[in-house]
A and B are shown apart, each in its own frame.
Chain A
Amino acid sequence: MLIEAHGLSVRAGQKQILEPVDFSIDAGEIVTVVGPNGAGKTTFLRALIGALPLTSGHITRAPGLRIGYVPQRLQLDASLPIRVRRFLDLPVRAQPAMRDEIAVFTQCDHLLDGQMGQLSGGELQRVLLAHALMQRPQLLILDEATRGLDHLAADSFYRRIEQVRQTMGCAVLMVSHELHVVMAASDRVLCLNGHICCQGTPEQVIATDEYRALFGGHSAGMMALYRHDHDHSHDGAHARQHGHHNHHHEQGGTAAHGQARPAGTADNDITQPGP
Chain B
Amino acid sequence: MTDIFDSFILRALLAGIGMAVATAPLGCFVVWRRMAYFGDATAHAAILGVALSLAFSLPVTLGVLLVAVIMAASVTWLNEQGHGTDTALGVLAHSALAFGLIAAALTDSIRIDLMAYLIGDILSVSTADLALIWLGALFVCGLIYWRWPALLLSTINPELACSSGMNPGREKLTVTIALALTVAVAIKIVGVLLIAAMLVIPPACVRPLSRTPEAMALFAAVAGVLAVCGGFYLSLNADTPTGPSIIMVAAFLFMTVTGAAALAGLRRGG
Interface residues of A (CB under 8 A from B): 13, 46, 49-51, 67-69, 71, 74-77, 79-83, 86-87, 90-92, 115, 131-132, 135, 141
Contacts and interface: CB of A to CB of B under 8 A. Distances in A.
Contacts of B152: 82, 90-91
B210 A51 contact: no
Contacts of B162: 46, 49-51, 69
Contact of A82 (B149, B161, B164, B213): B213
A83 B157 contact: no
B156 A76 contact: yes
Q: Majority SS of interface residues in chain B?
A: helix
A90 B153 CA distance: 6
Contacts of B18: none
A77 B153 contact: no
A167 B2 CA distance: 68
B135 to A, nearest CB: 29
A30 B157 CA distance: 25
B150 A91 contact: yes
Contacts of B216: 81
B211 interface: yes
A81 B204 CA distance: 12
B7 interface: no
Given A79-B207, A82-B212, A115-B211, A91 B149 contact: yes
Interface residues of B, number: 30
B160 A69 contact: yes
Contacts of B161: 91
A152 to B, nearest CB: 27
A79 B163 CA distance: 24
A51 B164 CA distance: 11
From A69, A75, A83, name the one whose CB has the most chain B CB atoms within 10 angstroms.
Answer: A69
Contact of A83 (B156, B166, B168, B211): B211
A240 B37 CA distance: 54
A172 B161 CA distance: 19
B190 to A, nearest CB: 22
Given A13-B82, A91-B149, A115-B211, A80 B163 contact: no
B31 A51 contact: no
A46 B158 CA distance: 10
B155 interface: yes
B32 interface: yes
Contacts of B155: 77, 80
A132 B211 CA distance: 23
A80 B29 CA distance: 9
A80 B157 CA distance: 12
B94 interface: no
A128 B251 CA distance: 37
B131 to A, nearest CB: 33
A135 B34 CA distance: 28
A126 B203 CA distance: 30
Contacts of B236: none
B158 A51 contact: yes
Given A49-B163, A79-B207, A91 B212 contact: no
B262 to A, nearest CB: 15
B159 interface: yes
B9 to A, nearest CB: 35
Interface string B1-34: 0000000000000000000000000000001111
A75 B160 CA distance: 12
B215 interface: yes
Given A79-B31, A79-B32, A135-B164, A49 B213 contact: no
